Amino acid sequence: MNKPIRAVSIFCMFLFLALMANVTYVQFVKSGSYNKDPRNARVAEASYSRERGQIIVGDEPVATSKPVDDRYKYLRVYPEAGARMFAPVTGYLQLGSQTGIERSQNAVLTGEDPQLFVTRLVDLLKGETAQGGNVVLTLDAAAQKAAFEGLRDTLGPRGEGSVVAIQPKTGRILAMASYPSYDPNELASHDSAKASAAYQQLDADEREPLLNRAIRTRLFPGSTFKLVTAAAAIENGKFHAGDQVPAGATYQPPGTSHRIANDGRSQCSPAKISFATAMEWSCNTTFAQLAVDVGPDKMRAQAEAFGFNSDYLRDLQGQVQSVYPADVEVPESEGGGTRELSLAETAQTGIGQNTVQATPLQMAMVTAAIANQGTLMRPYLVEKVQTAGFNVLRTSEPEVFNEHAVSAQTAGELTQLLEATVDNGTASPAAIPGVKVAGKTGTAQRGDSLCSAGGKPPYAWFVSFAPAEDAEVAVAVMIEEAPDVACGEIAGGQLGGPIAKAVMEAVLKK
């Protein structure tokens, strides 16, 4: 073989080897991720061409597929009555894009999940097209309706907010509402131009209707974080529910000239008050001093025991971590690096300000752990997986996330304080006749200026659980924007309390 032919032969051999290596890589290494990638139009087209499984709440489907006479054979539909209400959880199915449960449970819904292998085999032997499996959610339809309609009716058409309700003993998510929402039917259309236009309009909306605020929006939790501060103080033996605690009209944390006040609540003005009074009237000067007394490392440890700085939700993608600051960055001009929180910063974290931030799901978990005698359960949304014929393949089992977020004794003391806050204090709008309710308000300031002095309106929060002695539901309400409500009327108890009450009543069937 002469030299030119030998060179060409060797070059062709290398090309062949490179081709084989690439085919092996794509077929055996990357095929799984390609098949799961929602941007893979071929997979999406295949899923449209067979009957996708249902997403079910109670006994009713909230997402199903219907036969149509076009190239894709089946159209994903969301019942009009609950489409917007359930959309933040179900998500939507669109060619090249899936969100929510439609995305996280795609393998089950398309029938590709290994649990459905036998079903696929039977369908194959019968000569029938395989159908996808069903996903049954933990949501309580009545609680979800109360949460969504409560936000809509309270906040008005320009409002923004979220509600999460959890069953404390199991971690089952009973409600997860986000407002504003959207109609997923508009995005599931087989008319790609129409679907694209609908998405562009929603994506450009400043109120972000496509955003699931329950797991993706974190804000200053304000006074609802005082549950964490109080837990840290009791767990570390600083005070107990029956003790007198430090208070005062104002408090100047160490190392700063800034003074923390109580927004005019005179009940907080004495130098010492009962722990119950401090919780009932949400005294900033008390909880700032408790945080300083506990110290930043133990405050952080308590927050992390409730789930801050970690991921815990497996059934939906995109959860953002709630934050208790681990350290503070030092400017390069001062030497760079990081340092621990100062006592002044720690005081601010004790009242849910500084850089403490939480999602509605996180604050529902804090409340649920207290309601469950200190044991924090992992939250979950998928109750069961079924075949298309409704035979149960898998039922989710409750999982302990932290067995000792606080001790049972601390949880009991906190429950006493929160009951008193509903009975005698700022959380009274959540009271339910004949039921012991435990609750806490929160109003988180944005910036240094108060709303009444021309500053931005605050964020409003409310957390509660009931019945207090044996809780069936824990709720967190977050009000992000309420432009149709007078600035001075934006407060956790006033706006969030009635919504939380409606959700608790729906679960308790009151």
Point out the residues that are catalytic.
223
HSE (side-chain half, CA atoms, 13 Å) at 201: 12
Backbone angles phi, psi at 416, to 5 degrees: -60, -45
Distance from C-alpha of 424 to C-alpha of 496, rounded to nearest angstrom: 17
* Apex 464 CA angle, 462 and 468, nearest 5: 165
Tokens of 464: 């509660």
When computed from its CA atoms, the radius of gyration of the chain, rounded to whole angstroms, is: 27
Burial (CB count <10 Å: 0-12, 13-18, 19+), residue 204:
exposed
The answer to whether 143 touches 364, Cβ cutoff 8 Å, is no
Helix axes 284-294, 296-305, angle to 10 degrees: 100
SS3 39: coil
Nearest to 362 by CA among 350, 341, 376, 382: 376
| Angle (CA) 420 422 425, round 5° | 75
Distance in angstroms (rounded) separating the CA atoms of residues 505 and 289: 36
- The Cβ-side half-sphere exposure at 488, using a 13 Å CA radius, reads 3
Q: How many CB atoms lie within 10 A of CB 450?
A: 16
**Which helix (H) or strand (E) covers residue 411, if one does?**
helix 408-424
